């Protein structure tokens, strides 16, 4: 009996702390990198417990791991795992796109196609509306403002720009103030000019041709553009800048544009 009792005691002691119910993290001598597989009961989720939603970061990192594995070791299993992951991502993307469209249909303020239709008939109507609005702004500009055209007589681009500006002047009746930087005019389109060297320096005009919109009654001036511009581009810019200058949103820190000293 004494020998049996001693053998049983030795057996129990040999089981170690784990067998006696000691916690795993208290068993320091086993090391932090000791691995023991969890039991199937531990891995199973409790009934009724919702699965944790993966984050975008986790989905992306898993895709990177699977792609690296399939690329470095292109076995059927690795490639299939990566393809299955890609299929799941694609399904999520398709669901997102479907909901996106539904939200867009139900939220006109978020739908850009409401004001800019993509269909041929709708796009034509939209273009006509923009054209009408542009014509209205340019017509108002012709009544209350004028264009200031900075040029040099030896500039070939200025001569080409002068032809465009003359066409704009004839079609819409916009007044044009030709401002020469070298004291000579552009014959035969703009033989009459003013000396604009001082005002060009004031407005930061370093290259020509340069075009400005000037509204004397409101003491406002704004640059339309620098360099050679087509007729259509000038009209589009006049629409945008004209709405700003003629509206209430333009700052007056540019001051009044004054030209003095007429040339011959």
Q: What is the pLDDT of residue 232?
A: 92
Sign of CA dihedral 57, 63, 66, 67: negative
pLDDT confidence bin for 90, thresholds 50/70/90: very high
pLDDT reading at 259 higher than 60 = no
Q: Distance between CA 245 and CA 89 in Å, rounded?
A: 50
Q: Name which of 85-89, 120-124, 179-183 the model is least confident about.
A: 120-124
Q: Name which of 86-95, 117-126, 151-160 the model is least confident about.
A: 117-126
Residue with tokens 């170690």: 16
Q: Which of the residue ranges 38-52, 90-104, 250-264 has the most confident prediction, judged by mean pLDDT? A: 90-104
Query: Which own/partner pairs from 253-257 qualify as long-range (CB within 8 Å, at least 24 positions apart)?
Result: 254/203, 254/220, 254/221, 254/222, 255/219, 255/221, 256/216, 256/219, 256/221, 257/148, 257/199, 257/203, 257/212, 257/214, 257/221
Q: What is the mean pLDDT of residues 135-164?
A: 93
The pTM score is 0.56
Residue with tokens 């919702």: 50
Looking at the chain, the whole-number percentage of residues with pLDDT higher than 70 is 75
pLDDT confidence bin for 217, thresholds 50/70/90: confident
The CATH number of 127-246 is which of 2.40.160.20, 3.30.2270.10, 3.40.30.10, 3.90.280.10?
3.40.30.10
Q: What is the mean pLDDT of residues 138-160?
A: 93
- For residues 241 and 250, the answer to whether their CB atoms sit within 8 Å is no
Q: Burial of 154 by CB count in 10 Å (0-12 exposed, 13-18 middle, 19+ buried)?
A: exposed
Beta bridge partners of 195: 180
Q: Distance between CA 60 and CA 125 in Å, rounded?
A: 44
Sheet with strand 175-180: strands edge to edge: 194-195, 175-180, 146-151, 210-215, 220-226
Q: What is the pLDDT of residue 51?
A: 72
Q: Distance between CA 186 and CA 193 in Å, rounded?
A: 9
Q: What is the pLDDT of residue 38?
A: 42
* Alpha-carbon distance values, 262 to 176, 231, 239 (Å): 14, 28, 30
Q: What is the mean pLDDT of residues 86-97?
A: 93
Q: Name which of 77-86, 177-186, 216-225 the model is least confident about.
A: 216-225
Q: Which structure tokens are listed for 226?
A: 């620098």
Q: What is the pLDDT of residue 71?
A: 94
pLDDT reading at 228 higher than 90 = yes
Q: What is the pLDDT of residue 162?
A: 96
Q: What is the pLDDT of residue 176?
A: 94
CA atoms within 13 A on the CB side of 195: 7
pLDDT confidence bin for 112, thresholds 50/70/90: confident
Q: What is the pLDDT of residue 46?
A: 61
pLDDT reading at 123 higher than 90 = no
Q: What is the pLDDT of residue 15?
A: 43
210-215 and 146-151: which strand pairing? antiparallel
* Alpha-carbon distance values, 27 to 9, 24, 33 (Å): 21, 5, 12
- For residues 54 and 84, the answer to whether their CB atoms sit within 8 Å is no
Q: Distance between CA 92 and CA 75 in Å, rounded?
A: 26
In the chain, where the domains are located: 56-97, 127-246
What does the pLDDT look like over 188-198, one tens digit per residue?
999 999 999 99
Q: What is the pLDDT of residue 105?
A: 87
Q: Distance between CA 245 and CA 155 in Å, rounded?
A: 29
The rounded mean pLDDT for the chain is: 79
pLDDT reading at 252 higher than 50 = no
∠ CA 227-147-235 to the nearest 5 degrees? Answer: 65
Q: Which structure tokens are listed for 62?
A: 């898993």
pLDDT reading at 63 higher than 80 = yes
């Amino acid at each position: 009996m004494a020998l049996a009792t001693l053998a049983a005691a030795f057996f129990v002691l040999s089981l170690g702390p784990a067998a006696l119910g000691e916690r795993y993290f208290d068993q320091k001598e086993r090391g932090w990198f000791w691995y023991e597989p969890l039991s199937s009961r531990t891995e199973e989720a409790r009934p009724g417990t919702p699965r944790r939603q993966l984050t975008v970061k986790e989905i992306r990192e898993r895709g990177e791991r699977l792609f690296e594995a399939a690329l470095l070791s292109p076995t059927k299993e690795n490639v299939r795992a990566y393809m299955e992951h890609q299929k799941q991502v694609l399904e999520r993307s398709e669901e997102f796109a479907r909901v996106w469209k539904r939200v867009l249909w139900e939220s006109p303020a978020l739908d850009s196609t409401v004001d800019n239709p993509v269909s041929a008939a709708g796009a034509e109507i939209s273009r006509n509306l923009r054209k009408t609005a542009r014509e209205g702004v340019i017509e108002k500009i012709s009544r209350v403002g004028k264009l200031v055209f900075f040029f040099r007589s030896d500039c070939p681009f200025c001569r080409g720009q002068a032809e465009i500006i003359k066409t704009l002047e004839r079609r819409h009746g916009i007044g044009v103030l030709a401002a020469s930087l070298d004291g000579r005019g552009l014959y035969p389109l703009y033989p009459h000019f003013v000396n604009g060297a001082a005002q060009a320096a004031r407005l930061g005009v370093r290259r020509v041709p340069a075009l400005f919109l000037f509204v004397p009654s409101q003491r406002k001036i704004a640059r339309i553009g620098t360099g050679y511009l087509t007729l259509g581009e000038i009209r589009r810019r006049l629409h945008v800048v004209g709405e700003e200058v003629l509206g209430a949103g333009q700052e007056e820190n540019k001051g009044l544009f004054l030209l003095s000293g007429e040339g011959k």
